[in-house]
């Protein structure tokens, strides 16, 4: 018994050693090379990042319908976990505009924003997103985000930006109105209450917006958000001092608790999980796309590569931790990651240092948020929304591709007029449909030796004389179940239009893949040609294509004798099978063998 137990323990120990635990120690690739200069550069970059995230965190929490402090909490522990377990050296994780908008769009129909029930749902959604990200990372599905095209991201981001601005109209103009629902509903409510606007709140919001634009244009090196927020807050204080708070009616954010992230727990009931499952999947796909795309872009600029699967794991652990430390959905941030890189960060320590610095700053300045006007926050969010709309890239898509324009339009209008999570699925689905539609119709062209080209090379000019018994084709694309119908229809047409050309030679160097149904279609065409007294031949067959045809038994009709790896050998071999009586009266004589 003891021997069996010992053998069992040995087997268990070997199994544990066989498991790849490298995902727990990604820091081994960069931490040993960190020196004093790197630490110094990371500390300076971290200070900039901690200052920048302060107004952004509050703003994003406002967008998400969460208490303002939760935006700061989501920038602390989750950012540390993501930096430590991720693979990017410059990516900074935390709350983002898009994730915040999706969160609000999803949860506002289930609970009143800002209430304990709403927060509990947000924590649950964060936990579910973290689990999905972790599962995808362990399953090595890092390439999954490649199915979300660039046009989907651009369209979704632009749609989210429009919604951000629309939902802040009430605070920008100081109007009491319902800002939930879709764009047309918000604008309808605004039209009903437009005469009730608050001049003082509107002045503060407009001044904040103008100051932010001015700083961004003329003083790009200073944190324009902080300057604009301070300017708007000072203007609100001045108006309250001169006119009185009762007259101005300028609402403020209220004091934030000067505490570190408190422990929290998601509500993991079956009903909540069932309700949030579709949204969790949509948020997961977009969050991972955002994080990996930012990481790749910064990695290319920094001269290193990121591991998509490890980034999935880092983001998953980040959100799992955030759900227990009062954070909501976190992912890679465009703004803070760019600031981190431009500020001279060299390693993930910069993001970690920034999170700890933010904790210290919150303890010192949180009470002063009582003087932060909601109108000023609305002005800042107008700036954030405008920055999210990539007009240059939208113009590029509109002028370069009708297909990508359709994907962009569907995603954008779905985000604006439908549900945000549906917009992602709609964009991805349309992208896949258009891709399949394109691959289902591989390009098929007729080839022939062109006397105008050097050495009578084969060309695609339809006016080039054809051999009366033999036709050459080139197929550019895979022959699989989705494209079989198109290929078979083409074969049927050339047999009907040119019955005298009983022999068909296919240049197969453009065929990368053939599945069972595609192989059967090629074999059936070979059989028809043979039964009609001709034949079908494949030229320049790749090894992968040969193996696929052989494994599915699609070469049985010819035994592989009609497969050639060289064009010259193919012509010589096929010429021997042509009807010499027809050759005797032929005037085209396009092959060397004809003249011989």
Rounded CA-CA distance 125/136 in Å is 16
What is the distance between the alpha carbons of residues 55 and 384, in angstroms, rounded to a whole number?
Answer: 11
The H or E element containing residue 125 is helix 116-138
Burial degree of 451 (CB within 10 A; 0-12, 13-18, 19+): exposed
**Which 3 state secondary structure label does DSSP give 332?**
strand
103-108 own/partner pairs: CB under 8 Å, 24+ apart: 103/64, 103/65, 103/66, 103/283, 103/328, 103/329, 104/63, 104/64, 104/65, 104/167, 105/163, 105/419, 105/420, 105/421, 106/276, 106/279, 106/283, 106/419, 106/420, 106/421, 107/65, 108/65, 108/180
Q: How far apart are CA 371 and CA 391, in angstroms?
A: 35
pLDDT of the residue at 306: 82
The pLDDT value recorded for residue 257 is 80
What pLDDT score does 490 carry? 92
CA distance 329 to 421: 14
Percent of the chain as helix, strand, coil, to the nearest 5? 65, 5, 30
3-state secondary structure of 451: coil
Instruction: Identify the bridge partners of residue 373 per DSSP, sorted by sequence position.
Output: 252
* pLDDT for the residue 15: 46
pTM score: 0.70
- Cβ neighbours of residue 96 under 8 Å, at least 6 residues apart? 60, 290, 330, 331, 332, 333, 334
Q: Mapping DSSP to helix (H, G, I), strand (E, B) and coil, where does residue 472 land?
A: strand
Indicate the DSSP class of residue 536: E
Please state, as a whole number, how many other Cβ atoms lie within 10 Å of the Cβ of residue 273.
Answer: 16
Contact present, 419 and 105 (Cβ < 8 Å): yes
Q: What is the residue-level pLDDT of the chain in tens, covering all 596 positions?
A: 456 556 655 655 554 454 567 777 888 888 888 889 999 989 988 887 887 787 778 888 988 999 989 999 999 999 999 999 998 888 999 998 778 888 888 888 889 898 999 999 999 999 999 999 999 999 887 776 667 777 887 887 788 788 878 888 888 998 888 776 778 888 888 888 888 889 999 999 999 999 989 988 898 777 777 788 889 989 999 988 898 888 888 888 777 788 889 999 898 888 889 989 988 988 888 788 778 877 876 786 778 888 888 989 999 999 999 999 999 999 988 767 877 887 778 899 999 999 999 999 888 887 777 777 888 888 887 887 787 788 888 899 899 888 889 989 998 998 888 876 677 778 888 888 888 888 888 899 888 887 777 777 888 888 888 888 889 999 988 888 888 999 999 999 999 999 999 999 999 888 888 888 888 888 888 889 988 888 889 888 888 778 877 776 666 655 567 888 888 888 888 888 888 888 888 888 888 777 76
In this prediction, residue 382 carries a pLDDT of 85
97-107 vs 116-138: helix crossing angle, rounded to 10: 120
- Sign, CA dihedral 66-72-77-83, equals positive
As a whole number of angstroms, the distance between CA 463 and CA 458 comes to 13
Q: Which long-range contacts (CB under 8 A, 24 or more apart) does 270-279 make?
A: 272/121, 272/124, 273/124, 273/128, 275/110, 276/106, 276/121, 276/124, 276/125, 276/128, 277/128, 278/421, 279/102, 279/106, 279/125, 279/421
Helices 420-439 & 97-107 angle (0-180, nearest 10): 110
**Cβ–Cβ under 8 Å, residues 224 and 212:** yes
Residue whose C-alpha is closest to residue 211's, from 64, 362, 383:
383
């Amino acid at each position: 018994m003891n021997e069996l137990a010992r053998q069992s323990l040995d087997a268990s120990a070997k199994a544990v050693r066989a498991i790849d635990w490298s995902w727990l120690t990604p820091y081994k690739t960069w931490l040993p090379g960190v020196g004093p200069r790197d630490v110094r550069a990371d500390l300076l970059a971290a200070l900039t990042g901690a200052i920048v995230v302060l107004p952004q965190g509050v703003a994003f929490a406002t967008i998400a319908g969460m208490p303002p402090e939760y935006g700061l909490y989501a920038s602390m522990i989750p950012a540390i976990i993501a930096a430590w377990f991720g693979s990017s050296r410059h990516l900074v994780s935390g709350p983002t505009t898009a994730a915040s908008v999706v969160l609000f769009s999803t949860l506002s129909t289930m609970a009143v924003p800002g209430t304990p029930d709403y927060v509990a749902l947000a924590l649950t959604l964060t936990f579910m997103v973290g689990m999905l990200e972790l599962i995808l990372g362990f399953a090595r599905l890092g390439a999954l985000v490649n199915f979300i095209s660039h046009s989907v991201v651009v369209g979704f981001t632009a749609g989210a930006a429009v919604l951000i601005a629309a939902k802040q109209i009430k605070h920008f103009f100081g109007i009491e109105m319902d800002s939930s629902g879709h764009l047309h509903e918000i604008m309808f409510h605004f039209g009903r209450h437009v005469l009730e606007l608050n001049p003082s709140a509107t002045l503060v919001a407009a001044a904040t917006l103008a100051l932010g634009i001015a700083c961004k244009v003329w003083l790009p090196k200073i944190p324009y958000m902080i300057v604009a927020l301070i300017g708007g807050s000072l203007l609100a204080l001045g108006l309250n001092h001169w006119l009185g708070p009762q007259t101005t009616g300028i609402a403020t954010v209220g004091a934030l608790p000067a505490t570190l992230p408190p422990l929290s727990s998601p509500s993991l009931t079956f009903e909540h999980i069932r309700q949030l499952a579709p949204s969790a999947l949509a948020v997961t796909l977009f969050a991972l796309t955002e994080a990996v795309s930012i990481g790749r872009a910064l990695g290319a600029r920094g001269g290193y590569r990121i591991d998509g699967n490890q980034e999935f794991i880092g983001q998953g652990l980040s959100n799992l931790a955030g759900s227990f430390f009062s954070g909501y959905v976190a992912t890679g941030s465009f703004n803070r990651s760019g600031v981190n890189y431009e500020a001279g960060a060299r390693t993930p320590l910069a993001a970690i240092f920034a999170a700890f610095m933010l904790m210290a700053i919150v303890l010192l300045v949180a009470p002063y948020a009582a003087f932060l006007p909601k109108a000023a926050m609305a002005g800042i969010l107008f700036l954030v929304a405008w920055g999210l709309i990539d007009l240059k890239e939208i113009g590029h898509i509109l002028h370069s591709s009708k297909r990508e324009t359709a994907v962009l339009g569907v995603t954008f209008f779905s985000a604006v007029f439908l549900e945000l999570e549906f917009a992602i699925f709609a964009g991805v689905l349309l992208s896949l449909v258009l891709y399949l539609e394109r691959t289902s119709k591989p390009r098929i062209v007729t080839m022939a030796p062109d006397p105008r080209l050097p050495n009578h090379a084969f060309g695609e000019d339809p006016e080039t004389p054809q051999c009366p018994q033999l036709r050459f084709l080139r197929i550019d694309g895979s022959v699989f179940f989705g494209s079989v119908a198109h290929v078979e229809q083409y074969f049927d047409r050339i047999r009907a239009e040119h019955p005298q050309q009983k022999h068909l030679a296919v240049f197969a160097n453009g065929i990368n893949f053939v599945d069972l149904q595609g192989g059967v279609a090629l074999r059936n065409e070979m059989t028809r040609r043979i039964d009609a007294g001709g034949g079908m031949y494949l030229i320049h067959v790749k090894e992968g294509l040969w193996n696929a045809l052989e494994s599915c038994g699609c070469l049985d009709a010819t035994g592989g004798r009609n497969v050639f790896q060289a064009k010259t050998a193919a012509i010589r071999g096929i010429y021997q099978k042509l009807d010499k009586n027809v050759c005797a009266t032929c005037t085209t004589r396009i092959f060397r063998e004809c003249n011989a």
